[in-house]
């Protein structure tokens, strides 16, 4: 019954399952390179996945784009962040000026960056790198009532999807990031709401809370979940995705979900950044399970719940650098490794090409 309701109320996406038609040829090409089988470890898995997504034995990752979605959150009024809300528009300005970490790394690797305002609380000044698609001036405080209307949820999904549609012809790979003071707490609340896990298991330090601050954030999330449980007469973990999104969702998180779903719908790979971005994938998975097949996991962040979330996806991330910045910083740092995976697959000599003897068969 819930599934039929979902089709009617949330923006629909049609993500095709990946074909296994070329799987044996892809694996054979990897195994015939001048190396012991499996010796390039995770690079082999990345190459296999990209070749499978692109349905070719000559994959290409030469053109990438970073989309950073920005929004504010009413729950910040409850003290869930170490930083004040005015930091969101200030950091958006920093992205646009080229001074943020993700800006620096995108510039280093020649990757285009755009910032999409989905719900920043202030009106932002026009800029060539800024896409103004404000759905609302922040979500509502989810401890007091629903964070978003259903229309706002669908608008956020649409914003993310539209940004991908606008650029997809010119890119091979999409990367997503986020900015929004308090959004680690919102992501933790969504994680608990979708899975039924207790807030103690889904909540961490975010941008640098001390133990007292983390305890406060846990209490706020518990309050929100209890409010919704009483309203819906069902515990967290049993709510429909549209109920999770309206009651405790964040606009930039939902926009990332829409962007992921549209990227997969178009048959392209995308890179999942840290904890918040992975929660966006968790939500997207509720709409179309196959979206996960198109996801490359960049890193395991220092946010304590991220490891648990990666386990849910049976994901082995590319990096583990104890990052907890967000912004898409981990995604762009993984980009040259993804390129290297494709480079070895395409350009590394095979045993036959190089005239090198392969491994002896066991006797």
3-state SS assignment for residue 178: strand
Distance of CA 230 to the CA centre of its chain: 30
CB 19 within 8 A of CB 55: yes
Between vectors from CA 207 to CA 201 and to CA 209, what angle results, nearest 5°?
A: 65
> Which residues have a Cβ under 8 Å from the Cβ of 11 and sit 6 or more positions away?
154, 157, 158, 161, 258
Alpha-carbon gap, residue 93 to 91, rounded angstroms: 5
Active site residue 327: yes
Helices 275-287 & 183-195 angle (0-180, nearest 10):
40
In sequence order, the 6+-apart residues with CB closer than 8 A to the CB of 258 are 11, 156, 157, 158, 159, 160, 161, 284
Taking alpha carbons only, the member of 169, 27, 182 closest to residue 120 is 182
Q: Which residue, chain included where needed, has tokens 């309701």?
A: 5
β-pair partners for 116: 69, 131
The active-site residue, picked from 44, 178, 243, 327, is: 327
Burial class (CB in 10 A: 0-12, 13-18, 19+), 192: buried
- Of 39, 24, 42, 27, nearest in space to 338 by CA: 42
Catalytic residue positions, numbered: 327
């Amino acid at each position: 019954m819930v599934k039929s309701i979902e089709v009617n109320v949330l923006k629909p996406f049609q993500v095709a399952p990946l074909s296994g038609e070329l799987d044996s040829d892809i694996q054979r090409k990897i195994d015939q390179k001048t190396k012991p089988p499996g010796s390039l470890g995770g690079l082999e898995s990345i190459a296999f996945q990209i070749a499978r997504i692109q349905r070719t034995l000559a994959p290409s990752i030469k053109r990438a784009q970073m989309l950073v979605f920005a929004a504010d959150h009413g729950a910040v009024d409850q003290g869930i962040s170490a930083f004040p809300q005015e930091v969101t528009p200030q950091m958006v300005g920093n992205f646009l000026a080229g001074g943020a970490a993700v800006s620096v790394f995108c510039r280093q690797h020649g990757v285009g960056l755009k910032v999409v305002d989905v719900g920043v609380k202030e009106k932002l000044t026009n800029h060539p790198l800024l896409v103004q698609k404000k759905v609302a001036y922040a979500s509502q405080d989810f401890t007091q009532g629903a964070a978003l209307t259903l229309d706002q949820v669908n608008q956020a999904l649409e914003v993310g999807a539209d940004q991908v549609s606008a650029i997809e012809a010119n890119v091979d790979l999409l990367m997503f990031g986020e900015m929004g003071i308090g959004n680690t707490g919102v992501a933790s609340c969504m994680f608990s709401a979708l899975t039924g896990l207790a807030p103690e298991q889904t909540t961490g330090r975010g941008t640098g809370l001390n133990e007292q601050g983390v305890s406060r954030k846990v209490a706020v999330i518990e309050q929100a979940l209890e409010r919704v449980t009483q309203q819906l007469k069902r515990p967290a973990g049993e709510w429909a995705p549209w109920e999770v999104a309206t009651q405790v969702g964040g606009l930039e998180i939902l926009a990332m979900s829409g962007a992921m779903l549209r990227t997969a719908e178009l048959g392209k790979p995308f890179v999942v950044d840290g904890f918040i971005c992975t929660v966006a994938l968790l939500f997207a998975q509720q709409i179309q399970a196959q979206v996960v097949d198109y996801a490359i996991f960049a890193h395991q962040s220092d946010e304590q719940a991220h490891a648990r979330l990666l386990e849910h996806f049976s994901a082995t991330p590319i990096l583990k650098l104890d990052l907890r910045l967000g912004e898409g910083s981990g995604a762009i740092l993984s980009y040259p490794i993804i390129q290297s995976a494709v480079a070895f697959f395409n350009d590394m000599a095979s045993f036959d090409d190089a005239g090198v003897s392969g491994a002896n068969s066991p006797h």
